[in-house]
Amino acid sequence: MMKKIAISIGDLNGIGIQLALENHHIIKKVVEPLYCIDEVMLKQASTLLNIPIPNDFNYCKKIAKPFTIEPAKVTKTSGVYSFASFLKAVELSKTQEVDGIMTLPIHKKAWELSGVAFKGHTDALREFFFAPAIMMLGCPKMYVALYTEHIPLYQVADEIKDVKKLSEFLIDFYDNIKEDLKENEQIGLLGLNPHAGDDGVLGNEEKYIKEARAIAHKAIGLKIYTEPLVPDVAFTPNSRKNYKYFVAMYHDQGLAPLKALYFDEGINISLNLPITRTSVDHGTAFDIAYKNSELNNLSYLNAIDYFATT
């Protein structure tokens, strides 16, 4: 039996709605989608894109106040609507009317303009479900979990010094992916500093990472994490033969190599929640929105396919 999935429509000034309309005939063979968009906005987007609405395109009766789509523009109204669409998907998952959530890309500035306090979906999900959601991105060839996400770089070192928080993150991450690990397979744990600190010569944050690792290993009962890896060689071909899962200390440390290698096919998965949530691993792509561009749909399709494999 196919899973029923709520798809929050993202920022309607971007490419999300085009992905949804163009790929409905594909994804309906994998899941039963319910699109969190109402008839007024769906018809407006369909007309602008000159893409007909499929007859079996199931959508919601009411999301938020209609607005005029302004392709490729950051607007308060698009932010309000995209957040309302996301809230609807969350509501449907909480009432168990759907089996999971798939989110199309939002624009963080539009959320800010609309008064939304969250910096993204993962931040919001933590509060909605009172759970420390983990952001993991990637594809079956390589996954990267982020210890810190959307914070300024100068704040990362202080976050690493919170050994209790870091050790809990490592324990939670292992618990969420352990069923996929092979026997004796380890998780690549990245250091923070160049050369992983060179024994304190280039920084001492690695000592906190090691402390957190030791606490996690004691709790797990298994030495599953590597010693802090030197970040600039952690993602070489040889290293990727040894590790499928990595933990990065900050956003770009993990996502720069991941997107260089697997940008088209990568997805975003929220772990450590009572629901399953996936997303595309790209943004609103304002540069090509509503321009009749041929979109790369691989990340979107992979995000949907994840529900069929879990």
Span 226-241, mean pLDDT?
93
pLDDT of residue 150: 87
Res. 263 pLDDT band, cuts 50 70 90 = confident
pTM: 0.91
Phi–psi pair at 118, nearest 5 degrees: -80, 150
The yes-or-no verdict on residue 49 having pLDDT over 90 is yes
The CATH 3.40.718.10 domain(s) of the chain lie at 1-132+274-310, 134-272
- Considering only CA atoms, which of 199, 201, 126, 113 is closest in space to residue 169? 126
CA 28 to chain centre: 22
The mean pLDDT of the chain is 96
pLDDT of residue 32: 97
Span 172-183, mean pLDDT?
95
The CATH code of domain 1-132+274-310 reads 3.40.718.10
- Give the residue with greater pLDDT, 239 vs 19: 19
The CATH code of domain 134-272 reads 3.40.718.10
Res. 309 pLDDT band, cuts 50 70 90 = confident
pLDDT in tens, 107-138: 999 999 999 999 899 999 999 999 999 999 99
Res. 207 pLDDT band, cuts 50 70 90 = very high
pLDDT of residue 189: 98
Span 180-184, mean pLDDT?
92
pLDDT of residue 156: 96
pLDDT in tens, 134-177: 999 999 999 999 999 989 999 999 999 999 999 999 999 999 99
pLDDT in tens, 17-41: 999 999 999 999 999 999 999 999 9
The DSSP code sequence of the chain is: -PPEEEEE---TTSSHHHHHHHHHHHHTTTSEEEEE--HHHHHHHHHHHT-PPPTT--B-S--S------TT---HHHHHHHHHHHHHHHHHHHTTSSSEEEEPPP-HHHHHHTT---SSHHHHHHHHHTS--EEEEEETTEEEEESS-SS-GGGHHHHHT-HHHHHHHHHHHHHHHGGGPPTT--BEEB-SSGGGGTTBTTBSHHHHHHHHHHHHHHHHTS--BPSPBPTTTTTSHHHHHH-SEEEESSHHHHHHHHHHHHTTT-EEEEESSSS-EEEESS---GGGTTTTPPP--HHHHHHHHHHHH-
User: Within a 10 A sphere around the Cβ of 223, how many other Cβ atoms?
Assistant: 13
The yes-or-no verdict on residue 96 having pLDDT over 90 is yes
pLDDT in tens, 60-95: 999 999 999 999 999 999 999 999 999 999 999 999
Rounded to the nearest 10 degrees, how much is the dihedral formed by the CA atoms of 150, 279, 297, 255? 30
- When computed from its CA atoms, the radius of gyration of the chain, rounded to whole angstroms, is 20
The residues facing 187 across adjacent strands are: 225
